[in-house]
Structure 1
Amino acid sequence: MLKSLCSKTLLASALIALSSTAMAADKVYRLKLAETWGPNFPVFGDAVKNMVKMAEEMSDGRLQIRVDSANKHKAPFGVFDLVKSGQYDLGHSASYYYKGKLPTTMYFTTMPFGMNAPEQYAWFQYGGGQELMDEVYAEHNLVPFPGGNTGVQMGGWFRKEINSVDDLANLKMRIPGFAGEVLAKLGATPVNIPPGELYTALERNTIDALEWVGPSLDLRMGFHKIAPYYYMGWHEPATELMFIANKKKLESLPKDLQAILTTSMRKAAYDMFIHSYAESAKNWQTMLQEFPNIQVKTFPAEVMAAMKKATDDLVKEKAETDPMAARIIQSQQQYMKLIRAYTAISEQGYLNSTEDL
């Protein structure tokens, strides 16, 4: 009799466990994501859509992510706080937009005269960059992930030609992140403006110049109609966007869904880099052929040297006053020294040796 009762008890427990597992496997987890960009924003917004689609498909529908664009949540530069507070579970933005709130965030987007995209991805994944980024965001209940790279960005659209450092004095320019501080050191006035307001700001003379991305996105924005001087880049050689997750919400998901979500983010980030590169190549040809008024320029050597010196001076100042910044800067500089030697004999070496063939 006792043996029979034990067997029935064990069977009941097993059935309950199986039922609970089945219910967990069938449960749909609904998340909300806030993005800095407007609805149907090309390339950047496409990365978010790709991530959401992959997460839903790989989870067999158990992960459902609703995306709210900036026109819905009304805080294009507030994604950090929206996710931190739990109003949203996920976000897609750019780390350097939040340097005013948390200065060390800006190093995880890009640095003037720094690593290019493959070098920076190597630093994130194999050089300690992700671990440093995790540490910076952890105190804010956030988990960050690389969210897509634009590659080298162009130096910007200018109404007037830049012939000397003096031409930067009192120049009001939309330029975020560390590069904005560099130009401020040289007398310019940097401002940050949401993407949807850039054309209007340039058209109404609110700003004299702006940098956005490159041919992948700039052409459709119409900046060339107002500011014909298009300068080569120096300030953002590897602009990495970011996905961020509310730590508590992320850890509340079953382990398999956590893995699916993070894998979807990583794949979407890589896809965005390739997408941006492809769109830039296509739009560059369109610009050359259809808009001959665009004057592509390189900054004079004097200006480049001044921007490099200002960058070096600022990096030194940051490292001396902020221990966390010092750790990130040291990590980036050491890794760049390591990896740039290989870039020089591989990518750059290939281009140099085949240039005249």
Structure 2
Amino acid sequence: MKKITQTLVILMLTAFVTTTAGWFSDDNNQKQIKQQNFKVYTLKLAETWPSNFPIFGDAVKKAVKLAFDMSNGRLVIKIDSKNKHKAPLGIFDMVKSGQYDLGHSSSYYWKGKDINTLFFTSMPFGMTANEQHAWFEYGGGQELMDKVYAKHGLRSIIGGNTGNQMGGWFQEEINSIEDLQGLKMRIPGFAGEIIAKVGAKPTNIPAGELYTALDRGTINALEWVGPSLDLRMGFHKIAPYYYTGWHEPGSEMQFLINLKKFNALPKDLQAILITSMKLAAYDMLARSNHESAKNWASMKKDYPNIKIKTFPKSVFDKLRAANKKLLTKLAANNSLSKEIIQSQKNYLKKARAWTAISDQAYLNSQTQ
């Protein structure tokens, strides 16, 4: 009897190991789902980026895989890149209309749809990535973003941060504010409003068209991200001056969600979807820092002709003055803008005091 019992236990353990091994095998996921009679929910996602675009596109793929794995295959998300839908800056409308259930892009692209969307990517002279994430999660930022997007039938969730972005690639050196007069530059968001105020001519161009636009003189300068993505784009070949940042100290991408579709999902899948997006977002910040550090070292070694510059104080003074004036005007004309601006201002004051005595003090100590 004892031998029979031992044999049965061994057979049961073997069956369990075989079953679970098959379940966690990608090749067998769909087969196991069918055998369990799960209802599968399939969502369509449109992204601003081209197929296999590094870091940004990788964050989307990670969120999709996390959602699939955590739901045991009940939540399937299919990605359409800009190569397929042909509308890289049309994500807002496509998700709002229900053509797509989800999107991945940047909130400040939609300022023409709703001026209050531009505050949730990054603001010039504003919060760093760490400060901004704290504001989103604990300082009321997510609630304000919900307030802005809900009236469009949408929800926006953090979609991955680039960290502090570089100020851009310039074909000519910037020595004074006069050098920005008439300068044609690809720069989106509120920063575009600021440089327009000081005499430049901002424009917004999708990623895949940037090099050609700079090479052909359609623009004279551009900002993209930083070493994590810029080096592979080849901008240094035609614009040797690389300026440090001021305009996007912590640029957050976004996952857009059609609220009607989201509310139709079971509660557990709603939680899994949001969790997958946030995990992918935080991973993108780590990846961005890693790639920028790696590419910065490579750039300094392999491309010594790149000239690293910082705008003169006189230029920063003009940019800050323009920023202050524009924010004051926005707050006066729109009550929700005023609420968001005040929230960010208050949180930055609190968070920056701690950043100064923690990270900044530590970094300063390393140069002594």
2:121 aligned partner:
109
After TM superposition, give the deviation of residue 353 of structure 1 in Å: 1.7
2:157 aligned partner:
145
1:119 aligned partner:
131
Amino acid at match of 1:189: K
Alignment of 1:21-100 (within 5 A): 26-100=38-112
The alignment partner of 1:112 has SS state of: coil
CA deviation vs aligned residue, 1:4-31 (integer Å, no higher than 9, x gap): xxxxxxxxxxxxxxxxxx9997101110
The alignment partner of 2:325 has SS state of: helix
Distance of 1:185 and 1:126 partners within structure 2:
33
Amino acid at match of 2:357: I
Q: Is 2:177 the counterpart of 1:165? A: yes
Distance of 1:23 and 1:349 partners within structure 2:
58
Distance of 1:312 and 1:340 partners within structure 2:
18
1:325 aligned partner:
337
After TM superposition, give the deviation of residue 185 of structure 1 in Å: 0.2
Distance of 2:174 and 2:250 partners within structure 1:
24
Residue among 207, 216, 227 paired with 1:215: 227
Amino acid at match of 1:235: H
CA RMSD of aligned residues (A): 1.2
1:228 aligned partner:
240
CA deviation vs aligned residue, 1:82-139 (integer Å, no higher than 9, x gap): 0000000000000000101111000000100000000000000000000000000000
2:298 aligned partner:
286
After TM superposition, give the deviation of residue 293 of structure 1 in Å: 1.1
Give every structure 1 segment of 4 or more consecutive aligned residues whose post-TM-superposition deviation is greater than 4 Å. Answer: 22-25
The alignment partner of 2:341 has SS state of: helix
1:191 aligned partner:
203
Distance of 1:304 and 1:215 partners within structure 2:
22
Distance of 1:145 and 1:73 partners within structure 2:
22
TM-score, L = length of structure 1 = 0.93
Distance of 1:160 and 1:25 partners within structure 2:
63
After TM superposition, give the deviation of residue 355 of structure 1 in Å: 2.3
Identity fraction in percent: 65
After TM superposition, give the deviation of residue 349 of structure 1 in Å: 1.1
Amino acid at match of 1:354: Q
2:215 aligned partner:
203
The alignment partner of 2:280 has SS state of: helix
CA 1:316–1:24 in 2, change beyond 3 Å: closer, same or farther? farther
CA deviation vs aligned residue, 1:307-332 (integer Å, no higher than 9, x gap): 01110111111001111100000000
CA 1:95–1:25 in 2, change beyond 3 Å: closer, same or farther? farther
The alignment partner of 1:346 has SS state of: helix
CA 1:269–1:25 in 2, change beyond 3 Å: closer, same or farther? farther
Amino acid at match of 2:79: V
CA deviation vs aligned residue, 1:33-66 (integer Å, no higher than 9, x gap): 0000000000000000000000000011111110
Structure 2: which 5+ residue stretches go unaligned?
1-33
| Pairs aligned (count) | 335
2:21 aligned partner:
none
Distance of 2:37 and 2:235 partners within structure 1:
50
